[in-house]
Amino acid sequence: MTSVPLTQADRLPADWRDLLALTKPRVMSLVVFTGLCGLLAAPGPVHPVLGFTAVLCIALGAGAAGALNQWYEADLDAKMKRTASRPLPAGRMSRQTALHFGVGLGVFSVILMDLAANHLAAAVLAISILFYVLVYTVWLKRRTAQNIVIGGAAGAFPPLIGWAAVTGDVTTLPILLFAIIFLWTPPHFWALSLFVRTDYANAGVPMLPVVAGIESTRRQILFYTLPMAAAAVAPWLLDLTGWVYGIVSVILSVIFFVLAVRVFANKASEPKAMGPEKRLFAFSIVYLFGLFAALVVDRWLI
């Protein structure tokens, strides 16, 4: 028998591991990172305890949104290979437990944000949880191929929440940070959806490759890359950041664009395991991580 190395999560008791899985920790780690960077990029002093609590609230709120998403779509998750082993479809947890956990965590995160930071940060946190659960999961996901374009806004709020937690307001830079993630989400997700599209087709979810076909999805990925790159470079062009962010945003955006062109130029009717689509998806994560890290380096170290 081959031994698989244990991760931190594997060492948790089974019930805890499943509660953690409900929060979609891997995806949410980047969500929380963008929230942290929004907080660190904001002008003005922030008390470390307040800063830590605000980021914790973003993490708990995002986790709550993930749990409520899984509560609502346990039937769908059961039909897809990628999601069938989640706690609910695998029958390791009751839907009621997931619902209580999600609602409890969500309400707690918003109240704590309100007490530790301010009304604005708490309100935007509440809006992003509700947006992901009600607008994306309940309303759009099963109805339209534009689900990601509109519903993706939920994942774009965290930097704005981090910023608002420090300043109590929202100015041009946090709005641009929102725009970057909003425009990044379609290429991020559609690249992935190209190689898991049969899963979505079997589950009856109208994701773009299922509805519009592979060629149209490849074209739309490239199409969204252009305004995304413009939004990414805009903070530097508008003099809201320094040269470090400027250089990093230009380099990362050029690489993103080149990878998107390769996806567009790929004529293979079946996206391959290590083809241009997979490379673009993997790079989309590096891209957002690098961009937001550069923002913080620019503000604090230069």
Instruction: Please select the residue that binds ligand HEM; options are 19, 22, 30, 232, rule is CB under 6 A.
Output: 30
- Is 61 a binder of ligand FPP (CB under 6 A)? yes
- Is 135 a binder of ligand HEM (CB under 6 A)? no
- Is 288 a binder of ligand HEM (CB under 6 A)? yes
Report which of 109, 101, 82, 129 is spatially closest to residue 15, judged by C-alpha positions.
101
**Shortest Cβ distance from residue 43 to ligand HEM (Å)?**
23
Q: What are the DSSP calls for the chain, one per residue?
A: -PPPPPPTGGGS-HHHHHHHHHT-HHHHHHHHHHHHHHHHHSSS---HHHHHHHHHHHHHHHHHHHHHHHHHTHHHHHH-TTTTTSTTTTTSS-HHHHHHHHHHHHHHHHHHHHHHS-HHHHHHHHHHHHIIIIIIIIIITTT-TTHHHHHGGGGGSHHHHHHHHHHSS--HHHHHHHHHHHHHHHHHHHHHHHHSHHHHHHHT---HHHHT-HHHHHHHHHHHHHHHHHHHHHHHHTTSS-HHHHHHHHHHHHHHHHHHHHHHH---SS--TTSHHHHHHHHHHHHHHHHHHHHHHHHHT-
Indicate the residue among 39 and 154 with the shorter CB distance to ligand FPP: 154
Instruction: Please select the residue that binds ligand FPP; options are 39, 41, 65, 263, rule is CB under 6 A.
Output: 65
- Is 74 a binder of ligand HEM (CB under 6 A)? no
- Is 27 a binder of ligand HEM (CB under 6 A)? yes
Q: How far is CA 117 from the centre of its chain?
A: 23
Indicate the residue among 26 and 119 with the shorter CB distance to ligand HEM: 26
177 binds, among ligand FPP, ligand HEM, none (CB under 5 to 8 A by kind): none
Label residue 2 left, alpha or beta by phi (over 0 means left) and psi (-120 to 50 means alpha): beta
Taking a C-beta distance cutoff of 8 angstroms, is the pair 40, 71 a contact? no
**Shortest Cβ distance from residue 125 to ligand HEM (Å)?**
15
The interface region with ligand FPP, picked from 7-15, 23-31, 40-48, 264-272 by CB under 6 A, is: 23-31
- Is 26 a binder of ligand HEM (CB under 6 A)? yes
In the window 154-193, what residues touch ligand HEM (CB under 6 A)? 155, 181, 185, 188-189, 192
- Is 155 a binder of ligand FPP (CB under 6 A)? yes
The interface region with ligand FPP, picked from 3-11, 42-50, 57-65, 253-261 by CB under 6 A, is: 57-65
288 binds, among ligand FPP, ligand HEM, none (CB under 5 to 8 A by kind): ligand HEM
Contact positions vs ligand HEM (CB under 6 A): 24, 26-27, 30-31, 34, 136, 148, 151-152, 155, 181, 185, 188-189, 192, 285, 288
Contact positions vs ligand FPP (CB under 6 A): 24, 27, 31, 58, 61-62, 65-66, 69, 83, 125, 128-129, 132, 141, 154-155, 157-158
